[in-house]
C-alpha cells in the first residue's frame, strides 16, 4: 500500500474509533465481535474522490474488508486463491471504494444513479426456485453489481476469475438472492400470499399481490417517523388494512 493511500485508512480509523459525531448513524448489530456499527455515514464526495485517487494504484485482494479474511495465522491474510489486483480493479469508482470496503459504513452518491432498492423482502419460494433453476448454470462472480471488465464496452469476466457453477459462488438460496445485486433483495421468512414479502412471479389476472406488501411497509416506515405514542396506532392500522384486503 502506497503511503498516500495508507494515510486515508489511518484517518478512516481515527474517524470511526474517535469521532463524537457519528451518533446518528450508529446501529445495533448481532455480531460476536461487536454490538454496534455505523451505517450509511454521508461521506463528502471530495474526501471519497481523494481516497480513491490516492489508492487506485495500490494493491488488494478483496473488495470487502469487513469479512472473509483468512485468520488461521492469527492475523488477517488474503483468502486462499484470492488474486491481488489494483484497487481500481476491485473498486472501479470512488463510490465503489467508499461504500463497499467497510460494508456500507459510508454512503456516497454513485455517478450512474441516484437511487437504488435495498433489502426488498423477497418471498422465500421465489428465492428458492431462482436458486434451484440456476444452480447448475455458470458464472464467474458472486456480485454482479460491480467488478466487471468493461474495457471492451460490454461487461466481461475480470481477468483471473474462474467460471464455476452458480452453486459454487452461491451455496444457498440466500447467498444468491442477497449477494447477486449487493443486497437489493433480502430473503424473507414469509411465504407468498402473506402480504409481507415481494413476489417475482404472479398471475396478473388475479391482481398484483405486491401492492398490499408495499402499502404495509410504507405504513410501517411512516410509523417509525411519527412520535413514539402514535406508532402503535399506525401499525395497528397497517394490520387492519392487511386483514381488510384479505377479506
**24 with 75, same domain?**
yes
Mean of pLDDT values over 230-244: 56
Name 37's bridge partners. 27
Alpha helices in the chain (DSSP H): 3-18, 45-55, 87-90, 94-100, 124-134, 166-169, 173-179, 210-225, 231-246
Domain-located, residue 181: yes
Mean of pLDDT values over 44-53: 88
Domain-located, residue 112: no
pTM for this model (two decimals)? 0.51
**128 with 95, same domain?**
no
Q: Contact, 88 vs 57, CB < 8 A? A: yes
Q: Which domain holds residue 179?
A: 120-187
**84 with 30, same domain?**
yes
**153 with 228, same domain?**
no
**152 with 220, same domain?**
no
**Which of 51, 76, 107 marks a domain boundary?**
107
**28 with 71, same domain?**
yes
**Which of 77, 107, 137 marks a domain boundary?**
107
Domain-located, residue 200: no
Q: Is the pLDDT of residue 229 over 60?
A: no
Domain-located, residue 66: yes
Domain-located, residue 115: no
- What CA–CA distance (Å, rounded) separates 81 from 204? 46
- What CA–CA distance (Å, rounded) separates 109 from 42? 9
**52 with 9, same domain?**
yes
Residue 34: in which H helix or E strand, if any? Answer: strand 34-38
Name 85's bridge partners. 60
Q: Contact, 177 vs 187, CB < 8 A? A: yes
Mean of pLDDT values over 142-152: 88
The DSSP secondary-structure symbol of 110 reads B
Number of domain units in the chain: 3
Domain-located, residue 232: yes
**8 with 102, same domain?**
yes
**170 with 142, same domain?**
yes
**135 with 212, same domain?**
no
**97 with 127, same domain?**
no
Domain-located, residue 212: yes
Q: Contact, 54 vs 42, CB < 8 A? A: no
**154 with 182, same domain?**
yes
**Which of 107, 137, 153 marks a domain boundary?**
107
For the stretch 56-94, pLDDT in tens is: 999 999 999 888 899 999 889 999 889 999 998 999 888
Domain-located, residue 196: no
- What CA–CA distance (Å, rounded) separates 243 from 247? 6
- What CA–CA distance (Å, rounded) separates 136 from 131? 9
Residue 124: pLDDT band with limits 50, 70, 90: very high
Q: What is the three-class DSSP state of 46?
A: helix
More confident residue, 61 or 95: 61
Least Cα distance to 24 among 7, 44, 39 occurs for 39
Amino acid at each position: 500500500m502506497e503511503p498516500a493511500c495508507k494515510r486515508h485508512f489511518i484517518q478512516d480509523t481515527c474517524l470511526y474509533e474517535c469521532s463524537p459525531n457519528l451518533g446518528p448513524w450508529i446501529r445495533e448489530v448481532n455480531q460476536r465481535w461487536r454490538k454496534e456499527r455505523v451505517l450509511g455515514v454521508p461521506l463528502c464526495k471530495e474526501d471519497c474522490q481523494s481516497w480513491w485517487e490516492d489508492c487506485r494504484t495500490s494493491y488488494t485482494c478483496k473488495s470487502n474488508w469487513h469479512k472473509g479474511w483468512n485468520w488461521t495465522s492469527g492475523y488477517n491474510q488474503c483468502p486462499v486463491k484470492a488474486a491481488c489486483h489494483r484497487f481500481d480493479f476491485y473498486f472501479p469508482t470512488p463510490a465503489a471504494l467508499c461504500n463497499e470496503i467497510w460494508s456500507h459504513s459510508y454512503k456516497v452518491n454513485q455517478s450512474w444513479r441516484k437511487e437504488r432498492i435495498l433489502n426488498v423482502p423477497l418471498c422465500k419460494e421465489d428465492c428458492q426456485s431462482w436458486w434451484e433453476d440456476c444452480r447448475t448454470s455458470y458464472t464467474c462472480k458472486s456480485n454482479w453489481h460491480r467488478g466487471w471488465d468493461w474495457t471492451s464496452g460490454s461487461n466481461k469476466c475480470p481477468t483471473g476469475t474462474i467460471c464455476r457453477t452458480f452453486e459454487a459462488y452461491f451455496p444457498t438460496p440466500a447467498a444468491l438472492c442477497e449477494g447477486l445485486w449487493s443486497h437489493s433483495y433480502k430473503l424473507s421468512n414469509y411465504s407468498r400470499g402473506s402480504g409481507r414479502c415481494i413476489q417475482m412471479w404472479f398471475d396478473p389476472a388475479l391482481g398484483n399481490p405486491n401492492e398490499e406488501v408495499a402499502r404495509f411497509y410504507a405504513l410501517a416506515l411512516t410509523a417509525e417517523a411519527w412520535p413514539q405514542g402514535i406508532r402503535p396506532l399506525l401499525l395497528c392500522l397497517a394490520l387492519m388494512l392487511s386483514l381488510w384486503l384479505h377479506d
